[in-house]
Structure 1
Amino acid sequence: MSQIIPKILITGATGQVGSKTIDFLLSNPEIEIIAAVRTPEKAKPFAALGIKTVLLDFDDENTHLAALEGIDRLLMVTGYTVDMLRQSKVLLDNAKKAGVKHIVHLGACGPDNTTIGHWAWHQLVERYIEWYGFTFTHLRPETFMQNLLSYGGKKAITNGVINAYVEGARLSWVDVADVAQVAAIALQYPEAHAGKTYRLGYDACSFDELALKMTSIIGKPFRYEALSPDVFLQNMIAAGADMAYMGCVYDHWKRYAAGTIPGADETFDNFKSITGKEPTRWNAFIEKHKTELNY
């Protein structure tokens, strides 16, 4: 009797975490990877790699059940708008109907008692997952190291000048690839990671400290110029961004800058026990991305 191969659906498959999670899963012949895409055009790169795709639009619930048919495990990655609350609820309602067993949810930073708006929204989604009785793994990454390469579609550094909205705050950081690796492991071995909430942040640094590290490793001068969080707010308004969400982001920049986020630079020691490897730290990240950071 042939063994039934578990089917894993990756939402956010074209994004940073989703695409890297797929990369980590590709070497495992004992699972079937299915990438969720919004349009047939976005399916083409996956088809070229021999990866099956389904059409799924978070905002069109009529696409959900067909996309979730036969799926055992789901990586859930939502967008950066307040709609993530409704989208998550409806997708989870349909995942329950479809018989999905395990949810790996990409959330946000913070302890359970966080009062940062968008972090708290993710925790409401976590509670809904638990209420439904899915087995689950909650991922709570700290600030992505990749934000130093680009943020909001723009380069984060211009001619060696780093701009950010947090004054001199030290933040906890994680490489997107490390988040994806934990996601991939939780999707492959749900029984070992069910019921776990993994906070993912492995190196604490201020932007001044990062400028010194880059100057040393790249051999050109870097410096940090703090911007007021009000600059971020005006930029988001001008860009027509979803202000329910971006208002929360503005608030958290203000709190970082004022030093009023408890444990903002807290790091964790769970990565090696999950993956068997050491997490990426800043010196290695800068070395790896030297070409992109150089100017």
Structure 2
Amino acid sequence: MLLVTGATGLNGQLAVREFARNGSPARALVRDCAKARAAGLDRLAGIELVEADMRRAATLGAALAGVERVLMISGAAPDMAETQCTFIDACKAAGVRHIIKFSGSEPGSDPTRFRFTRMHEEIEDYLEGSGLAWTHLRPSQFMQVYLREAHDIATTGTLRLPFEDIALSPVDAADIARVAYLLLRDGGHEGESLEMTGPEALTMDDIAGHISTAIGTTVAYVRITPDERRRELLARGLPAYFVDALDEQTEERLKNPVAKVLAATHRMFGVRPTSFIEFLQRHAAAFSGKPT
């Protein structure tokens, strides 16, 4: 049996849907079956939903029974390291053989300077010392984070970010899900760290230009300060701990103005890298403010 955790989140849900799309059975661990049903996961052929909490080993018996490999994903929360290390222990006790850790990385940046990449490295170290087979899947920034800006883009025609003139290499989460599906289904790649980026390094002016092309309306990149961004995010209702983390991430990104482009993992699994313009065309309605 194969298990995907965090199955109602962005990346877990995409991975589960890859299993269903390919007619491959899998088990999906969720903390709230009602949320999973609202997302339609209960209607996916071959997907078995199991409700449990990664932080509470006593709830994980049914989820881990007969499981050989796990794709381990949990949300970017202050207790992420504790949650995943607890889950690793439960996997070992249940006889799971191989954990594929959905991690995170921005090649060239100092991972200790951003709390979530720092936690990912702590978890990776713990997993490597657990005695279980391991693989780290380490994507860079997701293209999907720009959907957070879609409302402002649609209403103001501007992309307001504190990234000056740096270039980033965002990767489509759907590409990551395709790799995660193949890795979980087929196994292998034990003891490997697999980094993934998108196929091109893009400045924010590039991104604004691509959005303009996709929706047929001019979108301008407006350079704002980190303090302005912080105030805007808090006004949107984002938790303070998450805004603090994004401040750290921005500070580190500004020290590394040109992101690396790494295509080896895409090639290894035969996944064609999705370009940013292709991603935007798929989500043009959101960026233009039109109902889907």
With the length of structure 2 as denominator, give the TM-score of the two structures: 0.87
In the TM superposition, what whole-angstrom CA distance separates every residue of 1:65-121 from its partner, at most 9, and x where no partner exists?
A: 332121111111111122001101111110100011111111111359633232121
- Greater shift, 92-101 or 234-243, is seen at 234-243
2:124 to 126, 129, 132: 126
Q: Give the corresponding residue for 1:68.
A: 64
Contact 2:141 2:197 in 1 (8 A): yes
| CA separation of 1:132 and 1:48: change in aligned 2, threshold 3 A | same
1:268 alignment partner, SS class: coil
| CA separation of 1:168 and 1:111: change in aligned 2, threshold 3 A | closer
| CA separation of 1:46 and 1:252: change in aligned 2, threshold 3 A | closer
RMSD (Å), alpha carbons: 2.3
Displacement of 1:156: 5.5
Contact 1:166 1:254 in 2 (8 A): no
Matched, 1:278 2:275: no
Matched ranges for 1:80-99 at <5 A:
80-99=76-95
| CA separation of 1:292 and 1:101: change in aligned 2, threshold 3 A | same
* 1: CA distance, partners of 2:255 / 2:35: 41
Q: Give the corresponding residue for 2:14.
A: 20
| CA separation of 1:212 and 1:77: change in aligned 2, threshold 3 A | same
Q: Give the corresponding residue for 2:42.
A: 47
* 2: CA distance, partners of 1:17 / 1:240: 20
Contact 2:212 2:219 in 1 (8 A): yes
Q: Give the corresponding residue for 2:146.
A: 148
* 2: CA distance, partners of 1:11 / 1:273: 26
One-letter code aligned to 2:276: W
* 1: CA distance, partners of 2:266 / 2:130: 30
In the TM superposition, what whole-angstrom CA distance separates every residue of 1:18-76 from its partner, at most 9, and x where no partner exists?
A: 111112222555x5311111123134333322421111113333212332121111111
Q: Identity over aligned residues, as a percent?
A: 28
Matched, 1:38 2:31: yes
Give the number of equivalent residue pairs: 281
* 2: CA distance, partners of 1:215 / 1:41: 38
| CA separation of 1:122 and 1:264: change in aligned 2, threshold 3 A | farther
Contact 1:199 1:268 in 2 (8 A): yes
| CA separation of 1:264 and 1:179: change in aligned 2, threshold 3 A | farther
One-letter code aligned to 1:249: L
Displaced runs of 4 or more, over 6 A: none
| CA separation of 1:206 and 1:63: change in aligned 2, threshold 3 A | same
- Greater shift, 225-234 or 140-149, is seen at 225-234
* 1: CA distance, partners of 2:284 / 2:25: 35
Contact 2:9 2:75 in 1 (8 A): no
* 2: CA distance, partners of 1:32 / 1:227: 47
Q: Give the corresponding residue for 2:5.
A: 11
Displacement of 1:213: 2.1
Matched ranges for 1:203-242 at <5 A:
203-234=200-231, 239=237, 241=239
2:129 alignment partner, SS class: helix
1:157 alignment partner, SS class: helix
| CA separation of 1:217 and 1:255: change in aligned 2, threshold 3 A | same
Contact 2:161 2:229 in 1 (8 A): no
1:162 alignment partner, SS class: strand
Q: Give the corresponding residue for 2:187.
A: 190
Contact 1:20 1:180 in 2 (8 A): yes
Contact 1:174 1:280 in 2 (8 A): yes
* 1: CA distance, partners of 2:152 / 2:197: 20
* 1: CA distance, partners of 2:54 / 2:66: 18
| CA separation of 1:58 and 1:189: change in aligned 2, threshold 3 A | same
